[in-house]
Amino acid sequence: MRQAYTAMQVGRSGMLERVERDVPRPGFGEVLIEVEACGVCGADAVDIEKAAAAGMARVPGHEVVGRIVALGAGNPSIWKVGQRVGVGRLGGYCNECSQCRQGRFQLCQNQPVVGASCDGGYAGMMLARGTGLVAIPDELLAEEAAPILCAGIATFNALKKCGAEAGDLVAVLGIGGLGHMALQYARRMGFKVVAIGRGADIAEDALALGAHAYIDNRWEDAAARLKSMGGAQAIVTMIAHVPTIAPLLSALAPWGRLVVLNPGTEPLPVSLGLLVGAERSIIGSITGSPYDNEKTLNFSVLASVRPRIEILPLEQANEAVRKVKSGEARFRMVLTMNGQPRL
């Protein structure tokens, strides 16, 4: 095995710096992964800022696909050396806390947040908890599978929880890295899909990705348009921008749900009468467990859902993060370790 590997770690300036690190040995319950590809999520920019402020040489990245090269003791027997696996945002549950004992592994309070509280996949190698691993179907390239591990599962699970049934109107708010996955899933799940974005330039993409209709939120009154269509059974928001979300609540149909999957800090003003009068609700949705992630990957294969990606080599991680932050990415950036796509 190699003695050293390349990693892009957060420097004090807030930029990522290329370093060589010694290859670690996996501890109890851990595996060592040789990384093939890692997606760049909007959350990575926040992770980088926080690590820089704390003076922590963190390696970001939580859409990781690679192969197991070494197994520590105490791992689930389903994992083997050479197997292709992924790691998402949630880094592996503890199996002991009260949430785990109730089977709500995604809510485990003792699990690392990959790229934030432990090192992630902007690197040639990565240590991961065995309980956090996801099996990758053979049909997916590493570069295609990577964004599904966060952007894919976050949107697929939110749509599954949105309460809408086949034929119901579901609005997807925010058409970027997450939204472009949500549109594909929503269409294939049988909903009437309305994309809400900013600008006319993405209308064509939104329709090609699966939307039946596109609303340009900069020029149109999105709530009025949704109401004219009979109201939305669900609005799934990719964005946390409260001034954009709040006016849309009135466009929820009776029993309609607003599903929030992007954490923000701003409070959301909501008329309580709006909730009570027609039994509307607002729910949060976290990405999901490794099992949920495998279901998302398998559904993506079954229904031909793929992220639209731009690939850059690991060394250009700063450029990839910049493109995600500026909104230039169409729609997801993926870093590869050898510069070549591979299965």
Q: Among 46, 97, 275, 286, indicate the residue that binds Zn ion (CB under 5 A).
A: 97
Which residue stretch of 105-113, 204-212, 228-236, 304-312 sits at the interface with Zn ion (rule: CB under 5 A)? 105-113
Q: How far is the CB of 8 from Zn ion (least distance, A)?
A: 17
In the complex, minimum distance from the CB of residue 49 to Zn ion, in angstroms, rounded to a whole number: 15
Q: How far apart are CA 19 and CA 117, in angstroms?
A: 19
Spatial distance between the Cα atoms of 312 and 32, rounded to a whole number of angstroms: 23
The CB-of-93 to Zn ion minimum distance in angstroms stands at 5
CB of residue 41 to Zn ion, shortest distance in Å: 3
Cα–chain-centroid distance for residue 11? 25
Backbone angles phi, psi at 225, to 5 degrees: -65, -40
Stretch that binds Zn ion, among 91-99, 126-134, 227-235, 298-306 (CB under 5 A): 91-99
Number of residues that bind Zn ion (CB under 5 A): 9
Tell me which of 57, 94, 229, 270 binds Zn ion, using CB under 5 A. 94
Find the shortest distance in angstroms from Cβ 137 to Zn ion. 20
Rounded Cα–Cα distance for residues 27 and 74 (Å)? 9
What is the C-alpha separation between 173 and 182, in angstroms, rounded? 9
- Out of 8, 51, 118, 150, the only residue in the binding site for Zn ion (CB under 5 A) is 150
SS3 181: helix
Provide CB contacts within 8 A for 20, sequence distance 6+.
Answer: 4, 5, 6, 7
Number of H helices, E strands in the chain: 11, 15
Q: Is 65 in the site for Zn ion (CB under 5 A)?
A: no
Tokens at residue 233, please? 């059974």
**Does 100 sit near Zn ion (CB under 5 A)?**
yes
How would you classify the pairing of strands 232-237 and 16-22? unpaired
Place of tokens 């501890």: 27
For Zn ion, which stretch binds (CB under 5 A), given 68-76, 107-115, 239-247, 307-315? 107-115
Among the listed residues 179, 121, 155, 127, the one whose alpha carbon sits nearest the alpha carbon of residue 320: 121
- Applying CB under 5 A, which of residues 40, 64, 108, 146 lies at the interface with Zn ion? 108
Question: Would you give the DSSP letter of residue 212?
Answer: S
Considering only 109-117, 121-129, 137-145, 232-240, which stretch makes contact with Zn ion by CB under 5 A? Answer: 109-117
Residue at 174: amino acid letter: G
Candidate segments 49-57, 93-101, 121-129, 171-179, binder of Zn ion by CB under 5 A: 93-101
Site for Zn ion in 210-269 (CB under 5 A): none
Q: Which of positions 4-43 make contact with Zn ion (CB under 5 A)? A: 41, 43
Shortest Cβ 45–Zn ion spacing (Å): 11
The site for Zn ion (CB under 5 A) is made up of 41, 43, 93-94, 97, 100, 108, 110, 150
